[in-house]
Amino acid sequence: MLVSSVWVGGGLSARNYVEVFGNPQIWVLFRNSITLAALTTALAGITGIILGVLIIKTDMPVGTLLAAAFSVPLLFPPYILAVGWFEILGRGGMLSRWTNAAIGEMTSGWLFGFPGAVVVLSSAFLPIVLLLTITYLRGVNPTLEEAARLSYGPFAVLRQITIPLIRPGIVLALTLVFLLTMGEYGAPAFLRLNVFPVASFTQSSALYNFDAATAAATPLIGVVLAGLFVEQKALGQRSYSFRWARPQMSQLIPLGHMRVPVVIGAMMLALLFVGVPIAGVLWRGSSAAALSEAIERGASSAVHSVLYATAAATLVTGVGFFLAYLIQRRALIGWRWLDALGLFLFTLPGTIIGIGLISLWNRPSTNWIYATPGLLVFGFMAQYTAIGTRMVAAGMSQLSPSLEEAAEVAGVKWFRRVFGILTPLLRPATVAAWVATFVFCLRDVSLPLLLAPPGQDTLTARTMTLMANGSPELIAALCLLSVTLALGPVTVAGIAWRFARRLA
């Protein structure tokens, strides 16, 4: 992509870059993207951290249930939340019908702008902050907090001991939310917000100008690299880890008379961030006629979605396992770069990865991959290998290398050490990595739009193409289908997990 973008008319030229950076519109887009990402990070960050602390560190009731409710948006593409809000706040939405058209006009103007996009993307990415905050809080050594409690009150301990200890997790979460918002295509496109990924998609898809799209994407690549640099700096030599073992918990902070108001506030927030948009989609799309049309138009695409996600999740978990081994066991010089590269690709907008793959494979000699779903699976692998790698690496970090060392001393070969010892012990981490990758592939929009072969689109891509003059009922019903498709496997995996734990 980069070579092609500077190779114009048979020679080196900066023409594409001069044209792109000389265009004032690019800087407007850049400012819009930065503003959107900053506001989303602030809202999702503050809300997610506070909720995480309340759930883990206080005696607030129904914490697990609330964490699950706030995490639901992670299962489907953010544009579904945008569609849900549109059904509530749009010109013909629920609010406009219940009140009057003028209010509908006002709320529609609010939705189709920064305020709407910030709320939609904050609710979509809040689970990342929440889950990472919970994970890091569970990893804090309780003896440090208990020692501090001898001299200080619980809130002072929280402020001066606990929060600084989970700072790497917070930085990681905020960096991820910032970068994922910068790269998000579906929701801003639906909300008609002029941001970088939408412009990049237009350059590549509407104008099919890959070189200009590459040039236009470079500021975004710069932001991604800067974000990763910040994350690496904040983490230092540490690598974050999930604790699969049951954590030792310190004493919970009593909320006292604030217990009920706090839990009601958290529930109201869950209702606002998750319940309202899903209710909007349900309200518009749950009629028998709409669901029947959605199934008729989207069933085969849903099957494709599941098959592509299965293939990609399986390959990502397999590749991720070996990459995790290389990173965790420091088995390769430059392992840190390998880790950073995976995270870089994860945060890179899908449109850029898609454009790169098309540029590489769109030629007769490589038609065997270009004309097949293999190209899309490659795209998913490029984007999501970091999930498999990081999750398996986190599981691996809980295992002592002495197990392998003992086997090595006993003469067991590397292949058997890995598949006879590590694989069985890492089964929970591997299954979790597979499910997470599956869900991310299932909810992806921009890669299938660019890379799915003719007649074999995914449900998310089909919903986006049907949005052109498709009835709101059909679009809402297709969104419901997407939600069901994601919830199904995750629910099954959750039940199986609990069942297996109970048996163990």
Partner 1 sequence: MGEGCAEKLAAVFAMARSTVKHPVKNVICVAIAAVVLAGCGTSHKNAVTVYVSEDQVFSEPILKDFEKETGIKVNAVFDTEEAKSTGVMNRLLAEKNNPQADVYWANEPVRADVLRQQGISFEFRPENGREIPDQFKDSQGFWTGFSARARVLLVNQNVKGKPSGVLSYVDPKMNGKGVIANPLFGTTTAEMAALFSVWGDEKGNQFLAGLKRNQVKLSTGNGESADFVASGQFDFALVDSDDAVDRLRHGKAVELVYPDQGEGEIGMLVLPNAVALIRSSPNPDNGKKLIEYLVSKQTERKLALADCAQIPLHPGVTPPKELKPIEQTRTMKVDYATLGAKLQAIQPVLKHWVGY
Residues that bind partner 1 (CB under 8 A): 23-25, 91, 101, 105, 189, 192, 198, 201-202, 205-210, 297, 304, 307-308, 310-311, 314-315, 317-318, 358, 362-364, 367, 370-374, 377, 419, 423, 449, 453-457, 462, 464-471, 474
Q: Please, which residue, 53 or 451, has the CB nearer to partner 1?
A: 451
Angle at 363 between CA 359 and CA 366, to 5 degrees: 100
Residue 19 Cβ, how far from partner 1 at the closest point, in Å? 10
Residue 423 Cβ, how far from partner 1 at the closest point, in Å? 6
- Both tokens of 428, joined, read 């929970």
- Both tokens of 235, joined, read 């983490």
Instruction: Tell me the one-letter amino acid at 303.
Output: V
In the block, tokens 């929060």 appear at 163
Q: Please, which residue, 228 or 439, has the CB nearer to partner 1?
A: 439
Q: Please, which residue, 28 or 271, has the CB nearer to partner 1?
A: 28
- Residue 11 is classified by DSSP as E
Residue 239 Cβ, how far from partner 1 at the closest point, in Å? 25
CA distance 239 to 393: 9
Residue 370 Cβ, how far from partner 1 at the closest point, in Å? 7
CB-count burial class (<10 Å; 0-12, 13-18, 19+) for 290: buried
In the block, tokens 């870059």 appear at 17
Q: Please, which residue, 134 or 315, has the CB nearer to partner 1?
A: 315
Residue 241 Cβ, how far from partner 1 at the closest point, in Å? 24
Q: Please, which residue, 9 or 454, has the CB nearer to partner 1?
A: 454
Q: Are 481 and 426 in contact (CB under 8 A)?
A: no
Distances (CA, A) of 283 to 81, 333, 472, 476, 477: 13, 55, 11, 9, 10
Q: Please, which residue, 25 or 143, has the CB nearer to partner 1?
A: 25
CA distance 336 to 231: 13
Residue 395 Cβ, how far from partner 1 at the closest point, in Å? 15
Q: Please, which residue, 83 or 474, has the CB nearer to partner 1?
A: 474
**What is the three-class DSSP state of 66?**
helix
Continuous segment of H or E residues that includes residue 7 = strand 7-8
